[in-house]
A and B are shown apart, each in its own frame.
Chain A
Amino acid sequence: MYKRSLARLGVLGLVGVLALTACSSKKKTGSGLTGGSSGSAASGATIKIGFEGPLSGDNAQLGINEVNAVQLAVDQANANNTYGFKVALVKSDDVGDPAKAPTAATALQQDPAILGVIGPSFSGATKAVGASYDAAGLVLISPSATNPTLTTLGFKSFHRVVPPDSLEGKEAGDYLAKKAKKVFVVDDLSDYGKGAADAVEAELKAKGVASERQGVDAKTTDYSVIAHQVQASGDDALFYGGYDTQAAQFAKALKAAGFTGLTMTGNGGKSSKFTEGAADAGDNWLFSCGCLDATVAPQAKDFSAAYNAAFKTDPSTYSPEAYDATNAMLTAIKAAGASPTRAKVFAAVNALDFKGITTEIKFEPSGEVSAQVINLYQQKAGKIGLLGDINTQS
Chain B
Amino acid sequence: MHYIHQIPAYVLLGLTRGSMYALIALGYTLVYGVLQLLNFAHSEVFMSGAFGSYIVVHAVVGDGKGTPSWAVPLVIVIGLLSGAVTGASVAWTLERVAYRTLRRRGAPKLAFLISAIGASFFLSQLAGKLFNRFRGNGFPKYFDQNRQVLRISTARVQVFEVVIILTAVIMMIFLDRLVAQTKLGRSIRAVAEDAPTAALMGIDIDRTISRTFVIGGALAGAAGFLFGTAFSFSNTVGFDQGTKAFAAAVLGGIGNIRGAMMGGLLLGLVEALVPPIPHIGIQWTDVVAFVVLVMVLIFRPTGLLGERLGRAA
Contacts and interface: CB of A to CB of B under 8 A. Distances in A.
Given A18-B122, A214-B281, A214-B282, A225 B136 contact: no
Interface centre among A219, A229, A233 (most CB of B within 10 A): A229
A161 to B, nearest CB: 28
Contacts of B141: 279-280
A29 interface: no
Contacts of A222: 17, 230-231
B66 to A, nearest CB: 15
B133 interface: yes
Is chain B's interface secondary structure helix, strand, loop, or mixed overall? helix
Contacts of B129: 21
Nearest to A255: B146
B282 A226 contact: yes
B6 A228 contact: yes
A248 B134 CA distance: 12
Contacts of A226: 282
Interface stretch (B53-61, B95-103, B257-265): B95-103
B36 interface: no
Contacts, number: 119
B231 A228 contact: no
Question: In this complex, which of B100, B154, B286 has the most chain A Cβ atoms within 10 angstroms of its Cβ?
Answer: B100
Interface in A212-245: 214-217, 219-226, 228-229, 232-234, 245
Contact of A229 (B145, B156, B234, B282): B282
Given A11-B101, A60-B133, A276-B134, A221 B231 contact: yes
Given A7-B96, A226-B282, A229-B282, A256 B158 contact: yes
B104 A228 contact: no
Interface string A270-298: 00010011111000000000000000000
A234 B1 contact: yes
Contacts of B306: none
A154 interface: no
Contact of A279 (B5, B138, B154, B231): B138
Contacts of A276: 134, 136
Contacts of A273: 134, 136
Interface residues of A, number: 47
A228 B10 contact: yes
A215 B156 contact: no
Interface string B248-276: 00000000000000000000000110011
B16 interface: yes
Interface of B: 1, 5-6, 9-10, 13, 16-17, 93, 96-98, 100-101, 104, 122, 125-126, 129, 133-138, 141, 145-146, 154, 156, 158, 227, 230-234, 236-237, 240-241, 271-272, 275-276, 281-283, 285-286
Given A10-B96, A222-B17, A225-B282, 4 more contacts: A214-B281, A214-B283, A221-B241, A276-B136
Interface of A: 4, 7-8, 10-11, 13-14, 17-18, 21, 56-58, 60, 189, 214-217, 219-226, 228-229, 232-234, 245-246, 248-249, 252-253, 255-256, 258, 273, 276-280
